C-alpha cells in the first residue's frame, strides 16, 4: 500500500502543495517566543521537520543501560556548516544554488518573486548564525567534548529563554530530570537569537522547514526544483527513476516489512552459516594480531582482548521483526502515509525511555548495503543487503570472500579500536581502559595515518580530511590486515594455486580493490569530502594495502613504483 500510494503520480500532481497548506497557515499564528517554541515541538512530534535543534532518545554513553534525552546542535539545511562560512568556489556555488532553490520553493507556495527573495535571504542569514555556533564535524568526533550531562534545571540556566521543565513534555517526554547536550555553546547562542531575531524572520524560517521537508514528496514543480538543487551539489545528470526512489523510501519507512520479503528471496540460511564462521575466524585473527602488538603493554592488551571477546555479531536480519502496530498506511494517501510513519518512528524512539535496551534491534533494515559497529552496544551488524556480490558470494573462493566481506567484518571490528571506539570499554561505556603511554603511542600511529590520507588530492586542490576520515581509515587498515591474517589460516591461503592466472594473495587484494574502486562526479566528490567520514573509494582502495608487506610481495612492488612506501614508513596499528 505504501509503495502503491507513492507511485500514484496523478493524485500527487492534483494535490500540488495542498498537503502543507495547513502547516503554513499554522505558522502565521506564531506571535511570541513561547508560541515559536511550541510550534517547533509540534513540528517535531507531528513528523513535519526538526527546526532549530535536534532532539531524540539515546543511550547514556557513560552508563549504557540507561536511555537519556539527547539534545543536539542543528538549525541548518545545507550539508555542512562550511557551506555557510567559507568562500571557496564550491561553497560560493552551492550558496547561489541554495538561494535559487529557496526562491523557487517560496514562489511555488504563492509568494511573489520579491517576497520569495526576501524570505530566502532572511532564512539564509538565520541559518548562517546557527552554522557559526555549531561545532565542526571534526570537533563532533570528540566523545568527551560532546558529552554534557545536565539536570533539566541546569540546562534551564544555559537557555533562560527556554524552560525545559515545561518544554520537554511538549515533545511527549515526561518525568525526565536529566538531559545530554552535545554543544552548550550552541544553545547559548540559540538563546541569544531567541531574544534578538524578529518574529517575522523566525516565521519565514519555520515556513522554509515545512516546504523544504515536503518538497520532494509534492507535485512535479517541487520535485524538479529539489532535483535542480541536488544537481548543483552532486553533479547528478539524470533524475533517479521514481520507482527506484520510492523503493528506497519504502525501505527507509517500513523496512522490516519489506525486509522479510527480501530475506525470503535473497538471503539463504547457508549464507548465514558461512558468515558466522567467517566472523569467528576474523575474531581469532584479531586476537592473534592484538597478542602480537609490540607497541602495546600487557595491561592494555588484556582489556582489548576482553572487549574483542565481548563483541556481539548480528547477521542478516533481526530475530524479532517490528510489527508497526498503530501505523496507518493507505494505498491512496502518500503524503499522509509519510507523516504517519514519521510520527510512529518518533513515538517509538521516545517510548524507549525507562525501558531496557532491546538487544534484538538491528539499527538497519535487511536490504541495506552497509555494515556497522556500535560503540555503546559493542556489536557488529551485517544486514542481508551487504551479504551479496561483490562483498560476499557463497560460491566464491576464500580469497575473494576474505578480501571482500572478510575485510568488512574486520573493518567493523576495528571500529571498536579506532580513535573514538577505543574510548569505550567492553560493556559499551565511555571509560578509559588504556595506559597513558599506550594511548600516546596509538595517537602517534593514527596521526601518521591521518597525514597519509590528508596528502591525497580529490578534486583540484581539495584534499581528503585525514582527521574527519580517521575512524574509517583505521577501520580499513585494521580490517584488511585482520582479514588477511584470517585468510592465511584457510587451505587456499596456505597454498599457491592460481585461479584465472592470479595467486591466492593477488585474488585477496583484487577482491578488496573491486569492492571500493569506483567513479564519482567531481561535484559529488567535493561534497563528500566535507560531509562523509569515509575517504573516497579510490583512496580506500590503496590507502590500506600500501601499508601491508603482503601486498608488496603479492604484486612485486619495488622502490620507484608509484605507490611504493619504504618498510619503515608503513603504518601498523592493529
What percent of the chain lies above the pLDDT cut of 70?
100
In a domain, 463, yes or no: yes
Provide the mean pLDDT of the chain. Answer: 97
Q: What is the pLDDT of residue 110?
A: 98
What 223-228 contacts at long range (C-beta under 8 Å, 24+ apart), as own/partner pairs, is 225/101, 225/104, 225/105, 225/108, 226/101, 228/97, 228/100, 228/101, 228/104
In a domain, 342, yes or no: no
- DSSP per position, 69-88: EEEEE----SSSTHHHH--S
Q: What is the CATH number of the domain that holds 133?
A: 1.10.1380.10
In this structure, the answer to whether residues 181 and 313 fall within a common structural domain is no
In this structure, the answer to whether residues 288 and 140 fall within a common structural domain is no
pLDDT over 90 (residue 537): yes
In a domain, 244, yes or no: no
In this structure, the answer to whether residues 282 and 149 fall within a common structural domain is no
Integer Cα distance of 214 and 197 in angstroms: 25
What mean pLDDT do residues 28-43 have?
98
In this structure, the answer to whether residues 87 and 17 fall within a common structural domain is yes
Distances (CA, A) of 443 to 55, 297, 439: 33, 15, 6
Domains: count for the chain: 2
What's the residue count for the chain?
Answer: 574
- DSSP per position, 449-499: HHHHHHT-EEETTEEP-TTTTHHHHHHHHHHHHHHHHHHTTSTTTT----B
CA-nearest of 84, 87, 73, 95 to 126 is: 84
Q: What is the CATH number of the domain that holds 443?
A: 3.40.390.10
pTM of the predicted structure, to 2 decimals? 0.93
Backbone angles phi, psi at 35, to 5 degrees: -65, -35
**Among 219, 239, 259, residue at a domain's last position:** 239
Which residues are CB-neighbours of 112 under 8 A, at least 6 positions away? none
What digits encode the pLDDT tens for the residues 181-216?
Answer: 999 999 999 999 999 999 999 999 999 999 999 999
In a domain, 146, yes or no: yes
In this structure, the answer to whether residues 51 and 178 fall within a common structural domain is yes
In this structure, the answer to whether residues 287 and 234 fall within a common structural domain is no
Which residues are CB-neighbours of 74 under 8 A, at least 6 positions away? 50, 51, 52, 53, 54, 130
In this structure, the answer to whether residues 277 and 224 fall within a common structural domain is no
Burial (CB < 10 A; 0-12, 13-18, 19+), residue 561, is exposed
In this structure, the answer to whether residues 311 and 217 fall within a common structural domain is no
In a domain, 288, yes or no: yes
Q: What is the pLDDT of residue 459?
A: 87
**Among 190, 223, 239, residue at a domain's last position:** 239
What mean pLDDT do residues 26-41 have?
98
In a domain, 574, yes or no: no
Name the helix (H) or strand (E) containing 148: strand 148-151
What digits encode the pLDDT tens for the residues 487-528?
Answer: 999 999 999 999 999 999 999 999 999 999 999 999 999 999
In a domain, 261, yes or no: no
What digits encode the pLDDT tens for the residues 136-156?
Answer: 999 999 999 999 999 999 999
SS3 502: strand
Split at pLDDT 50, 70, 90, the class of 401 is very high
- DSSP per position, 163-218: -HHHHGGGGT--S--EEEES-HHHHHHHHHHHHHS-HHHHHHHHHHHHHHHHGGGS
pLDDT over 90 (residue 335): yes
Q: What is the DSSP letter of 448?
A: H
Integer Cα distance of 399 and 494 in angstroms: 11
For residue 160, what are the domain limits? 2-239
SS3 383: strand
- DSSP per position, 233-278: HH---SPPPHHHHHHHHHHHHHHHHHHHHHHHHH--HHHHHHHHHH
In this structure, the answer to whether residues 483 and 386 fall within a common structural domain is yes
- Here the cell at position 360 is 534484538
**Among 191, 221, 239, residue at a domain's last position:** 239
What mean pLDDT do residues 71-78 have?
98
In this structure, the answer to whether residues 180 and 300 fall within a common structural domain is no
pLDDT over 90 (residue 460): no
In a domain, 214, yes or no: yes
Q: How many CA atoms lie within 13 A of 112 on its CB side?
A: 2
Integer Cα distance of 213 and 11 in angstroms: 19
- Find how far residue 537's CA is from the centre of its chain: 17
What percent of the chain lies above the pLDDT cut of 90?
96
CA-nearest of 520, 569, 518 to 540 is: 518
In this structure, the answer to whether residues 310 and 221 fall within a common structural domain is no
What mean pLDDT do residues 270-274 have?
91
Question: Is residue 167 within 8 Å of residue 37, measured between CB atoms?
Answer: yes
Backbone angles phi, psi at 109, to 5 degrees: -100, 15
- DSSP per position, 318-374: -SS----TT----TT-HHHHHHHHHHHHHHHHHTTTTS---TT--SS-TT----EEE
In this structure, the answer to whether residues 235 and 273 fall within a common structural domain is no
Q: What is the pLDDT of residue 345?
A: 96
Integer Cα distance of 240 and 227 in angstroms: 9
Amino acid at each position: 500500500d505504501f509503495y502503491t500510494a507513492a507511485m500514484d503520480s496523478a493524485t500527487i500532481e492534483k494535490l500540488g502543495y495542498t498537503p502543507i497548506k495547513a502547516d503554513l497557515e499554522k505558522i502565521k499564528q506564531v506571535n511570541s517566543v513561547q508560541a515559536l517554541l511550541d510550534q517547533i515541538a509540534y513540528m517535531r512530534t507531528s513528523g513535519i521537520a526538526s527546526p532549530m535543534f535536534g532532539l531524540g532518545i539515546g543511550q547514556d554513553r557513560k552508563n549504557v543501560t540507561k536511555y537519556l534525552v539527547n539534545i543536539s546542535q542543528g538549525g541548518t539545511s545545507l550539508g555542512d556548516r562550511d557551506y555557510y562560512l567559507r568562500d571557496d568556489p564550491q561553497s560560493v556555488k552551492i550558496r547561489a544554488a541554495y538561494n535559487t532553490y529557496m526562491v523557487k520553493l517560496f514562489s511555488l507556495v504563492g509568494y511573489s518573486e520579491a517576497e520569495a527573495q526576501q524570505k530566502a535571504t532572511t532564512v539564509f542569514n538565520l541559518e548562517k548564525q546557527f552554522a557559526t555556533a555549531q561545532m565542526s564535524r571534526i570537533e563532533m568526533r570528540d566523545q568527551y567534548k560532546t558529552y554534557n550531562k545536565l539536570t533539566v534545571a541546569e540546562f534551564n540556566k544555559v537557555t533562560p529563554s527556554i524552560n525545559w521543565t515545561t518544554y520537554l513534555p511538549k515533545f511527549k517526554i515526561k518525568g525526565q530530570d536529566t538531559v545530554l547536550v552535545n554543544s552548550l555553546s550552541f544553545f547559548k547562542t540559540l538563546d541569544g537569537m531567541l531574544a534578538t531575531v524578529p518574529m517575522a524572520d523566525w516565521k519565514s524560517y519555520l515556513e522554509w522547514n515545512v516546504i523544504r521537508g515536503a518538497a520532494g514528496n509534492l507535485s512535479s514543480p517541487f520535485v524538479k526544483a529539489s532535483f535542480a538543487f541536488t544537481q548543483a551539489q552532486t553533479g547528478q545528470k539524470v533524475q533517479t527513476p521514481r520507482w527506484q526512489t520510492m523503493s528506497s523510501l519504502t525501505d527507509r519507512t517500513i523496512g522490516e516489512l519489506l525486509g522479510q520479503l527480501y530475506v525470503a528471496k535473497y538471503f539463504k540460511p547457508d549464507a548465514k552459516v558461512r558468515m558466522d564462521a567467517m566472523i569467528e575466524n576474523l575474531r581469532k585473527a584479531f586476537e592473534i594480531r592484538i597478542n602480537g602488538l609490540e607497541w602495546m603493554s600487557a595491561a592494555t592488551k588484556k582489556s582489548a582482548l576482553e572487549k574483542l571477546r565481548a563483541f556481539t555479531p548480528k547477521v542478516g536480519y533481526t530475530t524479532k521483526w517490528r510489527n508497526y502496530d498503530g501505523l496507518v498506511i493507505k494505498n491512496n494517501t502518500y503524503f499522509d502515509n509519510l507523516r504517519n510513519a514519521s510520527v510512529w518512528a518518533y513515538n517509538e524512539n521516545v517510548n524507549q525511555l525507562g525501558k531496557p535496551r532491546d538487544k534484538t534491534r538491528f539499527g538497519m533494515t535487511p536490504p541495506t548495503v552497509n555494515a556497522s559497529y556500535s560503540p555503546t552496544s559493542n556489536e557488529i551488524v551485517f544486514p542481508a543487503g551487504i551479504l551479496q556480490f561483490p562483498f560476499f558470494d557463497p560460491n566464491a573462493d576464500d580469497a575473494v570472500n576474505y578480501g571482500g566481506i572478510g575485510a568488512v567484518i574486520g573493518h567493523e571490528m576495528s571500529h571498536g579500536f579506532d580513535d573514538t571506539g577505543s574510548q569505550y570499554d567492553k560493556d559499551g561505556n565511555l571509560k578509559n581502559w588504556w595506559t597513558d603511554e599506550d594511548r600516546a603511542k596509538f595517537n602517534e600511529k593514527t596521526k601518521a595515518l591521518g597525514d597519509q590520507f590528508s596528502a591525497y588530492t580529490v578534486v583540484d586542490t581539495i584534499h581528503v580530511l585525514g582527521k574527519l576520515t580517521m575512524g574509517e581509515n583505521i577501520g580499513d587498515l585494521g580490517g584488511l590486515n585482520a582479514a588477511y591474517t584470517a585468510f592465511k589460516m584457510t587451505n587456499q591461503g596456505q597454498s599457491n594455486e592460481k585461479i584465472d592466472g592470479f595467486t591466492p594473495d593477488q585474488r585477496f587484494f583484487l577482491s578488496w580493490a573491486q569492492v571500493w574502486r569506483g567513479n564519482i562526479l567531481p561535484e559529488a566528490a567535493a561534497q563528500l569530502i566535507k560531509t562523509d567520514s569515509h575517504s573516497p573509494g579510490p583512496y580506500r582502495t590503496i590507502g590500506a594495502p600500501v601499508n601491508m608487506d603482503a601486498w608488496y610481495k603479492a604484486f612485486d612492488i619495488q622502490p620507484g613504483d608509484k605507490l611504493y612506501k619504504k618498510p619503515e614508513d608503513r603504518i601498523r596499528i592493529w
